[in-house]
Amino acid sequence: MLRRGVPALTVLLVASALAFPAGASALVKGFWGPSDRDSITRVYKNLGVKLYQSQLRWAEIAPNRPANPRNPSDPAYRWPKSVDDAVLNAKLCLCGMGVGLMVLSSPNWANGNRGYWGAPNPNAYADFMYAASKKYLDVRLWMVWGEPARKANWQPLTPQPEKDANAGKPLTSAQKQAPRAYAAVLDAAYGALKQANGQNKVIGGNTFSWGSIRPAQFVKNMRFGSNNAKPRVDMYGHNPFTNRKPNLANKPYCGTEKAGCADFSDLDWFNRVVDANLGRPGHSHVQLFLSEWTVPTRPRDSEFPFYVSPATQAQWITAGFRVAKAVNAYAFGWIHLYDEPPFPNRRSISGGLVDHKGVGKPGYYAFQKG
């Protein structure tokens, strides 16, 4: 597959939602990558992608407080053209592709001057979610923040020790504050999105395989309010990054389930943790939404300290689809369409499905086959 009209590889990758029913039986292929018309209408279509994932960065869209925060036409809002274009290009694909949106970052006026990644006031975040849903009427899947269990993405957050000495122990009062604050934001967003459109589906959690707070511990502490209420959610988002071939027969990633990590091979027991802590009457099973995954194929990758051969990447992709289907996940998402060129003096992305010369790797065809 030759690359045509490829935009700069440093295009911001964005993430999250689609117009498929939450009970869809077929695994939905998702993608984070360039949003230009050629990539969406030709390359993603060829790959069988049904969900283009993109971000809305609230802090950039509303740096000043809107007078009418639930009105998408309020003059304070600066909606990004890139998302408008992505929605249009998905329609032009004529292939049943939807666009999903992850809403993250918060303006200082909404978070007590905590900065770009400061945990926001739940009601202010909910108002923005309502406005975003009215702005993007075709979007039905909404991700609440991205990887809030990572200290850099959600503040304030008191991390667990990086070593496994305290693995599995209950979180301290200070460590509990981050998942509790997130749970309040998630539940407020759920209510606003359902009010905006009853067909909206809300994806919460959005953890990854390890984190400043491990995913299992983060889920167990997603409670809010004086009565420790569970936040409402339709699906649970998780990015199952791993340095091993996905296989549910593998041992737990951090040695034991108690340690709380959850990579691709841990999705069966991790989904049970999610169900036990976020399930509710009439919705006891919370389906997993696997938003992001990638596997580097070159030394000196800029994101991960390991790499595999292109042939092994393809094998892992095939294995990943097998696991995702086995646990009845809603979506299987990939990040990076194209590799960056190798640079002599710095690391570069090598987890794409197309190499830096524009040639499809074996992984391209493994993802295409699903």
Domain range summary for the chain, segments of one domain joined by +: 28-369
What are 56's two structure tokens?
Answer: 């809305």
Q: Determine the pLDDT at residue 161.
A: 83
Quickly tell me which residue has 């809300």 as its tokens. Answer: 202
Span 103-158, pLDDT tens digits = 999 999 999 999 999 999 999 999 999 999 999 999 999 999 999 999 999 999 99
169-216 pLDDT, tens digit per residue, is 889 999 999 999 999 999 999 999 999 999 999 999 999 999 999 999
Tell me the per-residue pLDDT of 209-260, one tens digit each, with 9 for 90 and over.
Answer: 999 999 999 999 999 999 999 999 999 999 999 999 999 999 999 989 999 9
Kindly report the three-state secondary structure assignment for every residue of the chain: CCCCCCCCCCCCCCCCCCCCCCCCCCCEEEEECCCCHHHHHHHHHHHCCCEEEEEEEHHHHCCCCCCCCCCCCCCCCCCCHHHHHHHHHHHHCCCCCEEEEEEECCCHHHHCCCCCCECCCHHHHHHHHHHHHHHCCCCCEEEECCCCCCHHHCECCCCCCCCHHHCCCCCCHHHHHHHHHHHHHHHHHHHHHHHHCCCCEEEEEEEECCCCCCHHHHHHCCCECCCCECCCCCEEEEECCCCCCCCCCCCCCCCCHHHCCCCHHHHHHHHHHHHHHHCECCECCCEEEECCCCCCCCCCECCCCCCCCHHHHHHHHHHHHHHHHHCCCCEEEEECCECCCCCCCCCECCCCCECCCCCECHHHHHHHHC
pLDDT tens-digit readout, 254-297: 989 999 999 999 999 999 999 999 999 999 999 999 999 999 99
The pLDDT value recorded for residue 166 is: 55
CATH number given to 28-369:
3.20.20.80
What's the confidence (pLDDT) of residue 2? 29
